[in-house]
Amino acid sequence: MNQKIIFNSLWMLSEKVVSILGLIFVTSYIAKYVGPTIYGQISFAMSIFLLIQTIAQLGSAVIIFKRISKNHNSGVALINSTVYLRATGYIICAFPVIMFFILKGPLDSIWFLVAACIACFFSSVDVYSIYYDATLKSKINTAFNVIGVLVSLMLRWGIAELKMAPIYLTIPIIFTSLIPYLLRSFAYRQNIRQAPYSKRNGAKYRKYLMMAGSTFVLSDISVAIYTRLPLLFLAAVESKANVGIYSVSVNLASAWSFIAISFISSNLPSIFSEKDFNRSISITARLNLLVVGICTPIIIAIFFLGAWFITHFYGASYQAAYIPLLILSISTMVSALGIVSARFIAKFSGYSFLSRKMFLVLISSMLLNYALIKEYSITGAAMATLLTELLSLTLYNYFFKNGAVFKLHYKTLTYPLSRALKFFFR
């Protein structure tokens, strides 16, 4: 791993450290203050519009990342043609959802839905973050994201400390994505040389995105749905309080995933640019081992400290989150390995395969969530998530390109042994 990749990963990590501290000292304070029911309403609202955000992105993130890695100028042109497309798609999808909840939904949660809608809109149109990650300039993303997170956390803490009405939490919800978007957009337009706008070229790139992303977006949507199915099922068949408790498990289990994802993101350009098949498998296998090495100690720490952490920071109302947290922590590692495999498939333009596979994953997730939540409540939701991630990582991937992902996983399992043998018998 070269020095530039390491520094880029560390910049990405530093941003998430701030978010983790916020989760420990502020988000937990907010959850304890408002209680599981209101916390569940906020989590439900964000789940709905994060799904719409995924639809509006049109599967373009990986396409843009891959294009910039290979051709900088073409990637910039693609970015500039994406914003309008994303904004239009988001508004078209979000408007009927907002109207439905205004007319039919519970009025006590409508303001959280509106805030989530606005926040996810700015995240949807923020294509500039992809550019800085793809060009290994994550320190720019980090600086702007940290500003947004700090402002949001201070506002959240102030609202809880002053015992203000929970409705005021809508302000920091919006600021979390609004502030980084405005700063990133300004910096991008000031520092990136852009070719004069051409309607013809803009239309060409938008057409390309819709065609290339049409298969990939189905995969992204399937992922967005199946990862949020537990919350949606819990909201439908149980209480918002259980949604809130499960959300704590999800947040804590995924809070540390940024560590692995930072290294994954920083290694993607080297995987995408490698032309030799066997070398690309070796590079990706080493990345898999790095992910396992990062995740395993954290899972062990959660096993010993998770129950104490939940009781101390969130309160007795959230104690039931511990067992789901353990299960979801393992799921987080499996999910990170799944990201590596998915990007490996994307390298070989396996977008249509991913689309078909993720639809199958979605169906599996629906069946598992229905059966397990009905029987085991929030623990069942966590079990369904883990089983879905395992199927997605292994069995469903092995049908791609004559077992290319199976070869990758085999290489991952045998790589340490082969290195050891080379060391002792060289």
pLDDT at 322: 97
Backbone angles phi, psi at 53, to 5 degrees: -60, -40
What one-letter code names the amino acid at 87?
A
Return d(Cα 384, Cα 380) in angstroms, integer.
6
Return d(Cα 290, Cα 264) in angstroms, integer.
9
Of 161, 180, 159, 153, which is closest to residue 20 (Cα–Cα)? 153
pLDDT by 10s per residue, the chain, length 426? 556 666 666 666 676 777 777 767 788 889 999 999 999 989 889 989 988 998 888 777 777 777 777 777 777 777 877 888 889 889 999 999 999 888 876 666 789 999 999 999 999 998 888 888 777 777 788 888 889 988 998 999 999 999 999 999 999 999 999 999 999 989 888 877 655 455 555 666 667 676 666 666 666 777 778 778 899 899 888 888 999 999 999 999 988 888 888 788 777 777 877 778 888 898 999 999 999 999 999 999 999 999 999 999 999 999 999 999 999 999 999 999 999 998 899 888 787 788 788 889 999 999 999 999 999 999 999 999 999 999 999 999 999 988 999 999 999 998 877 776 666 666
Contact 314, 244 (CB under 8 A): no
Other Cβ atoms within 10 Å of 195 Cβ, number: 10
Any idea which residue has 């337009």 for tokens? 189
pTM confidence score:
0.80
**The dihedral sign for the CA sequence 282, 287, 292, 297:** positive
pLDDT at 96: 94
pLDDT at 405: 93
CA distances from 283 to 180, 260, 337, 348 (A): 33, 15, 14, 15
Return d(Cα 210, Cα 59) in angstroms, integer.
9
What one-letter code names the amino acid at 141?
N
pLDDT at 107: 65
